[in-house]
Chain A
Amino acid sequence: AQSVTQLDSQVPVFEEAPVELRCNYSSSVSVYLFWYVQYPNQGLQLLLKYLSGSTLVKGINGFEAEFNKSQTSFHLRKPSVHISDTAEYFCAVNPSGGYNKLIFGAGTRLAVHP
């Protein structure tokens, strides 16, 4: 069965510092990869997704992620965070060739401090 591991449950960081949120997945088949963000008391919103092509994917709000097939990873990065980036971030995979049935990681809570 597919699974997604987000290696850090919480990441504290100071404003304007860089951040990396780590995501690894287990799969023996091709997958599509997604990062979603959940701001407090809101639903999830897509940040970016990898379907094919360039392994570096750029998303909204200055975030980017790099797909690494050999390490089965899809880490999310931002070079300089803002207070407004404080939220929970979810990595998700969708095995290719099937229905749209996302498998989510447990989430990483990013706390940006002034």
Chain B
Amino acid sequence: NAGVTQTPKFQVLKTGQSMTLQCAQDMNHNSMYWYRQDPGMGLRLIYYSASEGTTDKGEVPNGYNVSRLNKREFSLRLESAAPSQTSVYFCASSEEASDTDTQYFGPGTRLTVL
């Protein structure tokens, strides 16, 4: 049982390049989330998917798109990377989108945009 997995672990991009961060969970969870973590700011929600087939914006969605490919997978795409998107990105999942449910986090992707 791997839990939540993310690929890649590290990535360096040039300004204007695009890339997709991949996330998968094997816990049969309905809800999935993308966060970014910046020094001194904690984690901020980018997008979430309450259930398969739905996605919604979080606190900081600008510059990102997401795809809930199926129940297991939730990808985050940067169409034209900017230095302000240098961050550590975490994917998480929970059984339901209920406000009491525990979220389970992946190990993160460290992204640098030059």
- List residues of chain A with CB under 8 Å of any chain B CB: 4, 9, 32, 34, 36, 41-46, 49, 51, 90, 94-102, 104-107
Confirm or deny: B48 has a beta carbon within 8 angstroms of a beta carbon on chain A.
yes
Q: Could you name 6 residue pairs across A and B whose Cβ atoms are closer than 8 Å?
A: A32-B99, A46-B104, A51-B100, A100-B96, A100-B97, A105-B42
A17 to B60: give the CA distance in the assembly, Å: 39
**Contact, CB under 8 Å: B45 / A42:** no
CB within 8 Å: A-B pair count? 67
A105 to B105: give the CA distance in the assembly, Å: 16
B111 to chain A, nearest CB (A): 15
A100 to B71: give the CA distance in the assembly, Å: 17
A101 to B104: give the CA distance in the assembly, Å: 13
Confirm or deny: B4 has a beta carbon within 8 angstroms of a beta carbon on chain A.
yes
